[in-house]
Amino acid sequence: DAGVIQSPRHEVTEMGQEVTLRCKPISGHDYLFWYRQTMMRGLELLIYFNNNVPIDDSGMPEDRFSAKMPNASFSTLKIQPSEPRDSAVYFCASTLGPRQNTGELFFGEGSRLTVL
Amino acid sequence: GQSLEQPSEVTAVEGAIVQINCTYQTSGFYGLSWYQQHDGGAPTFLSYNALDGLEETGRFSSFLSRSDSYGYLLLQELQMKDSASYFCAPPNRDDKIIFGKGTRLHILP
């Protein structure tokens, strides 16, 4: 398996533009997590899905952020409109189950977003 | 709610031993995981403790005390490549996995 695949790896956009980040989890993994990482706030959980259903989106900063998982092999995180404070690295991660065996999370390479 | 506490930075000398502590508060605790992240990279899994005690994996060991809501990662025979950030992460009964700001490990030659 190729691992968790995220795109784009880098995105530079202007304030007010829509940003869409994409993630393909590892095949067979039932859980998908979206995290945001900044120096100030560390690695924050935004939302996670189980079997394509959002379980907890309490970490989504505000209504400008939305996430979907239309099927088991694809998820998107959308920011509309984007603001400079959204600049961060966004990670997607998948796992068979946090309480199964070691519950290992497999992370994608991340999408580095810069909003000017 | 959930909360994690780790030191923000730790400095050690190459070849030495270093311990990174983690105290946590989470509902429905199941175990404690540790991840490593190099600058510019993604976090990668290091270890998991489901039970109290010490788990050893090569130069790295991880310890858990459920009664104290405490764990630590022990790195032995430190190498320059161990310079990275280290995160503890406890999954809870709702399968929610939180991290935090992690501990940045600096290794001096």
Mutation target vs A (from B49, B96, B103, B104; most A CBs, 10 A cutoff): B96
Tokens matching residue B95: 């399968």
Asked if A35 has any chain B CB less than 8 Å from its own CB, the reply is yes
Distance from CA of A81 to the nearest CA of B (A): 26
**How many residues can be counted in chain A?**
116
Structure tokens at A89: 């690295």
Structure letter (DSSP) for residue A81: S
Q: Where would I find the beta strands (DSSP E) of chain B? A: 3-5, 9-13, 18-25, 32-37, 44-49, 53-57, 60-65, 70-75, 84-89, 103-108
Return the pLDDT at A1: 64
Integer angstrom CA distances of residue B99 from A51, A101, A113, B5, B20:
22, 19, 20, 10, 15
Picking from B44, B48, B97, the nearest residue to A33 by CB comes out as: B97
Please answer yes or no on whether B101 and A99 come within 8 Å at the CB atom: no
Min Cα separation A56/chain B (Å): 8
* pLDDT per position as a tens digit, A43-65: 999 999 999 999 999 999 889 99
- Which percentage of chain A shows pLDDT scores above 90? 87
Split at pLDDT 50, 70, 90, the class of A102 is confident
Determine contact: B9 vs chain A, CB below 8 A: no
By the 8 A CB rule, do B44 and B31 touch?
A: no
CA distance A7 to A5: 7
First-residue to last-residue Cα distance in chain B: 41
**Identity of the residue in B43, B91, B99 whose CB atom sits nearest the CB atom of A99:** B91
Residue A83: pLDDT band with limits 50, 70, 90 = very high
How far is Cα A73 from Cα A59, in angstroms, rounded to an integer?
Answer: 22
Question: Which chain A positions have a beta carbon within 8 Å of B41's beta carbon?
Answer: 109
pLDDT at B96: 86
Q: What is the mean pLDDT of residues A94-108?
A: 86
Say if residues B97 and A45 touch (Cβ distance below 8 Å): yes
Report the gap between the CA of A16 and the closest CA in chain B (Å). 27
Neighbours of B68 (CB within 10 A): 9
Over residues A74-82, mean pLDDT: 97
Tell me, what's the pLDDT at B93?
A: 75
Rounded mean pLDDT, A19-36: 96
Which residues of chain B are modeled with pLDDT < 50? none
**What is the mean predicted confidence (pLDDT) over A23-41?**
95
* pLDDT over 80 (residue A98): no
- The residues, ordered by sequence, that sit 6+ positions from B56 with a Cβ below 8 Å of its Cβ are none
Per CB-CB distance under 8 Å, the chain B contacts of A104 are 33, 45, 48
CB contact under 8 A, A102 and B35: no
Distance separating alpha carbons of residues B84 and B38, to the nearest angstrom = 5
More confident residue, B27 or A109: A109
